[in-house]
Amino acid sequence: MKIKNMIMLLLTALIWGTAFTAQSVGMDYIGPFTFTSVRSLMGGIVLLPVICLFDKTNGKKQDGVKADKAAGWKNRDLLCGGVLCGLALCTASNLQQIGIQYTTVGKAGFITALYIVLVPICGFFLGKRAGLKLWVSVVIAAAGLYLLCITEKFTIGKGDFLVLLCAAVFTLHIMFIDHYSPLVDGIKMSCIQFFVTGAVSAVPMLLFEKPSLSQMIAAAAPLLYAGVLSSGVGYTLQIVAQKGIDPTVASLILSMESVFSVLSGWLVLGQNLKAREISGCMLMFTAILLAQLPEKTQKVKKA
């Protein structure tokens, strides 16, 4: 295992986790649809020179089918995957962006991280087997979610519910990526999804919000962080780093995103969690880690 790759993945988790703070701060200046649209377009623009660089570098090494696959902007799977991922990302991002206005950064980060548990559950309904470990992690996550979000009156906050829906849609997003990424260039598909997300989000932005240049300039710092770092740099780091590291270990490192979201909310925004909510966070993080651990049968097969 390469230490360099682990550091890059940890940096990715840090960028994604602290981006929740940028999203929260951005709401002080612009609306949620405006924020999602602008940050997504930034992410797509940032990836364009990265794609050009990768094409030049890989073009010297590839031949035959591999070269066609890398150059395939006209590939039907690439366009279909980019559009589907873009629509899912658009829905999830806007749900998250709206929900963050009514909940804390830490809670939003942990609830969003539930997709790591929801993804294998979704796979189960698609015909994939699920072991006892998965169901135990689901029960632990449900208990953690209850402590984190449900109040004494047995109600769930508006923001918590919207972010929970966001986690469900992110599950679909990950399933789309799982299906299309082996067939196409991952960075190109990501670039397409960002432009689709930005374009679709622009429709409700123009209908329900009144964005102005002065507002966007005021929100420049959180927009640049979420757009350039979280969308563009974060995704590229993940792609590069996972090439030299076990996917299970990569998932474990990336799940640290939820921890960084709590820490950034505490350090930057002063959002302290109560003992009940901290217990919920600990249970949910335990469930996330448990869901990513390999089964014993897999270890035996590898041996």
Identify the sign of the CA torsion 5, 252, 18, 28: positive
pLDDT (0 to 100) of residue 61: 53
Domain assignment present for residue 298? The answer is: no
Give counts: helices (H), strands (E), the chain: 16, 0
Spatial separation of the C-alpha atoms in residues 156 and 162, rounded to whole Å? 10
How far is the CA of 251 from the CAs of 51, 292, 294, 301, in angstroms? 24, 7, 11, 21
CA 199 to chain centre: 19
CA 221 to chain centre: 20
Domain assignment present for residue 134? The answer is: yes
The parent domain of residue 273 ranges over 3-293
Spatial separation of the C-alpha atoms in residues 110 and 8, rounded to whole Å? 21
Q: Could you tell me the pLDDT band of residue 68, with boundaries at 50, 70 and 90?
A: very low
Specify the DSSP class assigned to residue 103: S
Domain assignment present for residue 303? The answer is: no
Domain assignment present for residue 299? The answer is: no
Domain assignment present for residue 186? The answer is: yes
pLDDT (0 to 100) of residue 259: 77
Q: Which two tokens stand for residue 197?
A: 């997300």
Domain assignment present for residue 302? The answer is: no
**Number of domains the chain contains:** 1
Residue predicted with more confidence, 190 or 266: 190
Domain assignment present for residue 89? The answer is: yes
Q: Could you tell me the pLDDT band of residue 37, with boundaries at 50, 70 and 90?
A: very high
Range in 43-57, 69-83, 216-230 the model is least confident about: 69-83
Domain assignment present for residue 213? The answer is: yes
Q: What is the pLDDT of residues 164-195, one digit of tens each?
A: 999 999 889 888 887 887 788 888 888 999 99
Q: Are 279 and 147 in contact (CB under 8 A)?
A: yes
